[in-house]
Amino acid sequence: MTQEPEQAVEDTDAREDDAYALQPKNVAAILFAVDTGEREKLIELMEPLHPADIADLLEQINAFDRMRLIKLYGKEFDGDILSELDESIREEVIRTLHPEVLADAVRELESDDVVDLLEDLDEAQQEAILEVLEDSDRVAVEQSLTYPEYSAGRLMQREVVMAPEHWNVGEAIDYLRSTDDLPEQFYHIVLVDPKLRPIGNVGLGRLMASRREVLLRSLISETFHVFPVTRPEGEVAYAFNQYHLISAPVVDESERLVGVITIDDAMSVLDEEHEEDILRLAGVGEESRLSDGTVETVRQRLPWLAVNLATAVLASLVIAQFEDVLATVVALAVLMPIVASMGGNAGTQALTVAVRSLATKDLTSSNVWRIILRELSVGLVNGICFAVVMGVLALLWFGSPVLGGVIAVAMIINLVVAGLAGIGVPVVLERFGVDPALASGTFVTTVTDVVGFFAFLGLASAVLL
């Protein structure tokens, strides 16, 4: 008896150290079992892995190994693995699975996970999965699919634990004890009025700590948010993060309770939105995945490079206006990329802070003018610093005080413009309803390139020709 707990602690430790990130040596052992077709060995090796780890494993190995592993693993395949899988290879895995295994896997899932699964499949695959569901589940899933993509309605699970507002603690506990199909995890009971409209959340901790005769209504949590089914999932995630919500009810147009969103779903959305922001800022397609092949990757990245080419050609057109002075003073060709590069970097700095602040709703019309003024001052201060450095450097390198002066003035102009563009472009894009993370980078570096070359070469031709 005393032996058992010790065992449990050791198991936990072992699992943590191994499965944290999937260890390469485990992956190698699993692939070896697949190569040699040892089913028992494979199952033994996979047993300690969490479905999320198995999904990671499937993403890391190549398509051929993936297919063989899934075939060999057979009916051990768990529904949660499908939920955890990246969308880019989910379709492929579903096609590989034996129809019976797929049916079993899908039946295990909660309704929100089934919806998430179906969203990205083609119609034939959707049909195949809907068919294997029980009637009531199928209706629930089909109903969820009528809500807009990326809405609270798609994110919620339909399994809700609710209670009439007039119940007391004892009635709630008796109800919970007598109910068979409670959701796997839940943290609150939603109180509803006779029209099924949510009135408040009662946390299970407070419920447990109260005597049987206490009214549920007196235990309602202070922080309570209700989301309409159409609320975008990004705003739901923002509210969970901002107000430290654990679960929140979702209502339809007539304010009736139809589902509940839990913090782990919100956390996934937050994670995805961050990921998309980073990828967009870098000009990589937001759907980009590590497991994508060459063709898919080229398809995502080529458009952004094409936009960049267009802006680079624009900058070259500016340079071409000054061929005369460039032919006379070759030093200009040597120095001009420095001015453009510094402007591009300073602009990206200001831009990144602005894009993030817009996303987190920290940058609003209440403080935008103060921040614009700050970026202007920062650009000026940085501009003066680097003007001095580059002025001296150009003087020493080419022995020309005039050249030093020209690059110094151009540097100040470009860093001030970079600051203004860095904050101004995303704010204006946001106001016009364009995602600033997506388009700001190209705009800002175009501005700093064009202004940088124009200021530097323009000044030079005015002074030196």
Cα 264 to chain centroid, rounded: 14
Candidate list 389, 428, 434, 465; residue touching a second copy; CB under 8 A: 389
Which 293-312 residues touch a second copy, going by CB under 8 A?
A: 293-294, 297-298, 301-302, 304-306, 308-309, 312
Q: Per-residue DSSP letters for 194-258?
A: TT--EEEEEEHHHHHTS-TTSBGGGG--S----EETTSBHHHHHHHHHHHT-SEEEEE-TT--EE
Q: Which is nearer to a second copy, 258 or 279 (CB)?
A: 279
**Residue 456 found at the interface with a second copy (CB under 8 A):** no
Number of residues that bind a second copy (CB under 8 A): 140
Compute the least distance from the CB of residue 267 to a second copy, in Å: 6
Give CA separation, 324 vs 207, 320, 329, 398, in Å: 82, 9, 9, 19
Compute the least distance from the CB of residue 424 to a second copy, in Å: 15
Strands across the sheet containing 257-262 = 227-228, 247-251, 257-262
Compute the least distance from the CB of residue 124 to a second copy, in Å: 29
CA distance linking residue 261 with residue 160, whole number of Å: 9
**Residue 396 found at the interface with a second copy (CB under 8 A):** no
CA distance linking residue 391 with residue 304, whole number of Å: 35
Which 220-279 residues touch a second copy, going by CB under 8 A?
A: 223-226, 235, 238-244, 246, 255, 263-264, 266-268, 270-271, 274-275, 277-279
**Do 83 and 117 form a contact (C-beta atoms < 8 A)?**
yes
Compute the least distance from the CB of residue 273 to a second copy, in Å: 9
| CA nearest neighbour of 192 among 213, 228, 217, 214 | 217
Compute the least distance from the CB of residue 123 to a second copy, in Å: 30
Compute the least distance from the CB of residue 127 to a second copy, in Å: 29
Which 84-143 residues touch a second copy, going by CB under 8 A?
A: none
Q: Which is nearer to a second copy, 41 or 356 (CB)?
A: 356
Q: Which is nearer to a second copy, 124 or 396 (CB)?
A: 396
**Do 407 and 335 form a contact (C-beta atoms < 8 A)?**
yes
**Residue 3 found at the interface with a second copy (CB under 8 A):** no
**Do 406 and 456 form a contact (C-beta atoms < 8 A)?**
yes
**Residue 34 found at the interface with a second copy (CB under 8 A):** no
**Do 441 and 348 form a contact (C-beta atoms < 8 A)?**
yes
Q: Which is nearer to a second copy, 267 or 465 (CB)?
A: 267
Q: Which is nearer to a second copy, 182 or 463 (CB)?
A: 182
Q: Which is nearer to a second copy, 139 or 317 (CB)?
A: 317
Which 322-341 residues touch a second copy, going by CB under 8 A?
A: 323, 326-327, 330, 332-338, 340-341
CA distance linking residue 85 with residue 207, whole number of Å: 36
**Residue 28 found at the interface with a second copy (CB under 8 A):** yes
- Provide the H-helix boundaries in 22-98: 24-36, 39-46, 51-60, 63-73, 79-84, 87-96
CA distance linking residue 281 with residue 439, whole number of Å: 8
Going by their DSSP bridges, the two strands 162-164 and 188-192 should be labelled as parallel
**Do 263 and 245 form a contact (C-beta atoms < 8 A)?**
yes
**Residue 52 found at the interface with a second copy (CB under 8 A):** yes
**Do 98 and 146 form a contact (C-beta atoms < 8 A)?**
no
383: part of which helix (H) or strand (E)?
Answer: helix 368-398
**Residue 211 found at the interface with a second copy (CB under 8 A):** yes
Which 341-370 residues touch a second copy, going by CB under 8 A?
A: 341-342, 345-346, 348-349, 351-353, 356-357, 361-367, 370
Which 161-200 residues touch a second copy, going by CB under 8 A?
A: 161, 165, 173, 176-177, 179, 182-183, 185-187, 193, 197-200
Compute the least distance from the CB of residue 128 to a second copy, in Å: 27
Residue span 62-81 as binding mask against a second copy, x where in contact by CB under 8 A, dash where not: x-------------------
